[in-house]
Structure 1
Amino acid sequence: MTAPHVDVEIDGPIARVWLNRPDKLNGITFEMLDGLVQAAERIERDRSVRAVILEGRGPSFCAGLDFGRVMTNRREVFKRFLPHPLRGTNGFQRPLWVWRELPVPVIAVTRGHVFGGGIQLALAADFRITSPDCQWSVMEAKWGLVPDMSGTVPLAELVPADLAKRLVMTGEVFSGERAAEYGIASQVAEDPGKAALELIEALMERSPDSVAASKRLLDETRHSTARRAFRLERRLQRAMLKSPNTREARRAGQEKDTPRFGPRTFR
């Protein structure tokens, strides 16, 4: 039986999502794209999940699109290239962008290679924790292409315009340490998996509703007008004031107690 190209392991409040083609450096296939969407949808339905770790099995996070596997099926490529009329993403963009839309924090743990579609997937996460010797590249320039799996939006949010253009135009390969200097990686750690768990511990001290609403607020107002941002602030705050987890946070704070949060109620 063929192993799935994406594995999901849910252990209490933590979901681990593994890219599962270690012998191919987790090169992206149609099956992997479908698996990423299915994994995100499963996690979204499970309101007990508080955080996601997105990782690659084997020595690499993801070396990008498996051209040899994908480009032999031109009909499927064409079909997936067409945008969804309501979502606005196509079949290559949605499997990555869906992690941006997930109402829980997503942490990409990267080692080895983060190339092409791999860097775009990492950019869809809320945080990227990398080993120092990890190799990163917006690799599409090498093949005469442009990044087209949603990665240009978060890249443009993270780095200055001239740096984004240089990385996209040249396909420069840079280390995990340099990724942090550029502002692409959130943290460098010899053991990025351990660092991810430490970050999750801090996140779980806060209300899951507040964390979800904060992610949405910051993502949606980054490029909005002030008026729109203020309107969304008010709407989300009204939702928080009705949340049972907000009441628990207030109780724990007043009583100097450890909060005992219930499942996430906010979407």
Structure 2
Amino acid sequence: MTDALQITRDGGVVTLTMNEPASRNALSDAMREGLSSAMQDLSVDADLQAVILTGSGGVFCAGGDLKKMLANHKAGLVTGAEDILPRMKYLHRWITLLRDLQVPVIVAVDGPAYGAGLGLALTGDIILASERASFNASFCKVGAVPDGNLFYSLPRMIGLQRARELFYTGRTVHAEEAQRLGICMEVLAVDDLLPRAQAIARMMCDTSRTAFAMTKAISARSMELDSNALLELEAQAQAICLSSTYHKDAIDRFTKKQPPRFDFR
């Protein structure tokens, strides 16, 4: 745990809470370091079953630390692209680890998810929003291109035309519209947001970790590969899953009319 990022654990469920509300949980150096360290640890955590990512103080994440960026320019620390590329590569390393975690990632967005904060939110498998949540690909307002993997995630989530409209206008999308567009799955009262995320995470703990990891990995490539390539991945994954202990236990329970271990409600 760092001051910028709080990490709590309940069994196999880890909750990451961005905790610099004074800066609207911007991706400060401390926040980036906290997230990078957490992703390295979680990516090799054999007991991990689900992750919840959220923010504190009624804010998810305001994106890049613009005050620090300005200070770097004034201090002459940014003279060309070569000064920016290492920071982008650092961002990409830990956000890729988050994206590729082999367990469910539930994102609970309360308040603004702007800029790179929007990219961070869209790394989740399930995105929940509070009634006061808002989303904004605000990069055009500061003469930048979208980052945080948004060129990949947003068009796949809402379609290319709508993604371009949000990239080009930098307009704010509030919770109800975000749900209609498909950016978030559910909109909840503020007090219900985290309990709902926790309930989903607990339910996911009873899944087959092997089956979930393979489903996540293959579905992530479903818009890149052709049908035959996906069928091949499907066959390989199913061969592993249908010979697993979890599957044998599940069908045994079914034939004995016992409730399944996993019951998503």
Which of the five TM-score ranges fits, normalised by the shorter chain?
0.7 to 0.9
String of CA shifts for 1:121-149, please: whole Å, max 9, x gaps. 00111111001221210011111111122
| Residues 253, 78 of structure 1: alpha-carbon distance in 2 compared, 3 angstrom cutoff | farther
- Residue 81 of structure 1 is matched in structure 2 by 85
| Residues 258, 204 of structure 1: alpha-carbon distance in 2 compared, 3 angstrom cutoff | farther
Q: Which moved more, 1:51-60 or 1:37-46?
A: 37-46
SS at match of 1:27: coil
For residue 226 of structure 2, what is the amino acid of its counterpart? Answer: T
Distance 2:260 2:182 in 1: 33
- Residue 103 of structure 2 is matched in structure 1 by 104
Shift of 1:258: 5.0
Segments of 5+ residues of structure 1 without an aligned counterpart are: 84-88, 262-267
| Residues 113, 12 of structure 1: alpha-carbon distance in 2 compared, 3 angstrom cutoff | same
Is this contact kept in 2: 1:129–1:189, CA < 8 A? yes
SS at match of 2:62: coil
Segments of 5+ residues of structure 2 without an aligned counterpart are: none
Is this contact kept in 2: 1:34–1:95, CA < 8 A? no
Is this contact kept in 2: 1:8–1:17, CA < 8 A? yes
- Residue 120 of structure 2 is matched in structure 1 by 121
Q: Which moved more, 1:155-164 or 1:94-103?
A: 94-103
SS at match of 1:153: helix
For residue 192 of structure 1, what is the amino acid of its counterpart? Answer: L
| Residues 144, 130 of structure 1: alpha-carbon distance in 2 compared, 3 angstrom cutoff | same
TM-score (norm 2): 0.87
For residue 219 of structure 2, what is the amino acid of its counterpart? Answer: L
- Residue 254 of structure 2 is matched in structure 1 by 253
Computed over aligned residues only, the root mean square deviation of the Cα atoms, in angstroms, reads: 2.4
Shift of 1:169: 0.7
1:29-40 equivalent positions in 2, closer than 5 A: 29-40=28-39
Distance 2:203 2:15 in 1: 17
Distance 1:253 1:30 in 2: 51
SS at match of 1:93: helix
Distance 2:43 2:243 in 1: 21
- Residue 138 of structure 1 is matched in structure 2 by 137
Distance 2:150 2:94 in 1: 11
- Residue 156 of structure 1 is matched in structure 2 by 155
Identity across aligned pairs (percent)? 26
State how many pairs are aligned. 255
